[in-house]
Amino acid sequence: DVKVTQSSRYLVKRTGEKVFLECVQDMDHENMFWYRQDPGLGLRLIYFSYDVKMKEKGDIPEGYSVSREKKERFSLILESASTNQTSMYLCASSLAGGPASGNTIYFGEGSWLTVV
């Protein structure tokens, strides 16, 4: 059974804190993604990675960075959390070739982040 695991389900952080969201997949997928989901806005891509140490900006990368040191692990970093980053964050993965090649995106359970 496919598995994308996000280590933190619910977090409350203060403005200005550095926040780490960790994600691990056990499917040996090449591609990993970080999305955020907000009511009425759908899922928006923050960053993605198609290989170890490789990263590409998505549609809303400002205020975020990522790290992929191992194939199975993709971390999202909020350098200085702000209240407008309160959201649900979804990690996902897919096989090489990506969704444009018909490869399904598998999602983790999500991390609910509140910045106060």
User: With binding defined as CB under 8 A, does residue 33 bind another protein?
Assistant: yes
Q: Which is nearer to another protein, 11 or 45 (CB)?
A: 45
- Residue among 11, 50, 61, 77 that touches another protein (CB under 8 A): 50
The residue among 5 and 83 lying less far from another protein, judged by its C-beta, is: 5
CA-derived radius of gyration, the chain: 13
CB nearer to another protein: pick between 11 and 17:
11
Amino acid letter for position 102:
G
How far apart (Å, rounded) are the C-alpha atoms in residues 63 and 112? 17
Beta bridge partners of 21: 76
Q: What are the residue ranges of helices labelled H in 7-114? A: none
CA dihedral of 50, 3, 26, 106, whole degrees rounded to 10: -20
64 lies in the site for another protein, by CB under 8 A: no
**Residue in 26, 51, 56, 79 binding another protein, rule: CB under 8 A:** 56
Euclidean distance between CA atoms 82 and 113, whole angstroms = 11
Please identify, among the stretches 12-20, 60-68, 70-78, 99-107, the one whose residues bind another protein according to the rule CB under 8 A: 99-107
Site residues (CB under 8 A) for another protein? 31, 33, 35, 40-45, 48, 50, 56, 58-59, 90, 98-102, 104-110
